[in-house]
Structure 1
Amino acid sequence: MDTFWSFITERYPDILKALQEHLVLSFSSVLLGTMIAVPLGILLVYNRIKWINNIVFFIANLFQTVPSLALLAILIPLLGIGMKPAILALFLYSLMPILRNTYDGFNSVDKGVLDSAKGMGYSTAQSILRIQLPLSLPYIMSGIRITTVYIISWATLASLIGAGGLGQLIVSGLGVNKSEMIFTGGIGAILLALAADGLLGLLEGWLSRRYHQNPGRDAAI
Structure 2
Amino acid sequence: MEVLQQLWTYYSQNGSYVLGEFYRHFLMSAYGVLFAAVVGIPVGIFIARYRKISKWVFSITNVIQTIPALAMLAVLMLVMGLGANTVILSLFLYSLLPIIRNTYTGIVSIEHAYLESGKAMGMTKFQVLRMVELPLALSVIMAGL
Q: TM-score range by the shorter chain?
A: over 0.9
Structure 2 gaps of 5+ residues are: none
Do structure 1's residue 85 and structure 2's residue 108 form an aligned pair? no
Letter in 2 for 1:43: F
State the TM-score, normalized to the length of structure 1: 0.62
SS in 1 for 2:15: helix
1:61 is matched with: 62
Summarize deviations over 1:47-66 as a string: whole Å, max 9, x none. Answer: 15x1x211111111111110
TM-score w.r.t. length of structure 2:
0.94
Specify the alignment match of 1:7 in structure 2.
10
| Number of equivalent positions | 142
- Aligned pairs for 1:1-221 (under 5 A) are 1-48=4-51, 50=52, 52-144=53-145
Superposed CA deviations along residues 77-131 of structure 1, whole A, max 9, x for unmatched, are: 2111111111111100000001111110011111011011111111110011000
Q: Which amino acid aligns with 2:72?
A: L
How much does 1:7 deviate? 1.5
Letter in 1 for 2:23: Q
Name the structure 2 match of 1:209.
none
* Distance in 1 between residues matched to 2:35 and 2:142, nearest whole Å: 15
Structure 2 match to 1:202: none
Partners of 2:11 and 2:100 lie apart in 1 by 39
The separation in 2 between residues aligned to 1:3 and 1:64, in whole angstroms, is 40
Identity %: 39
Mapped partners of 2:38, 2:112: distance in 1: 26
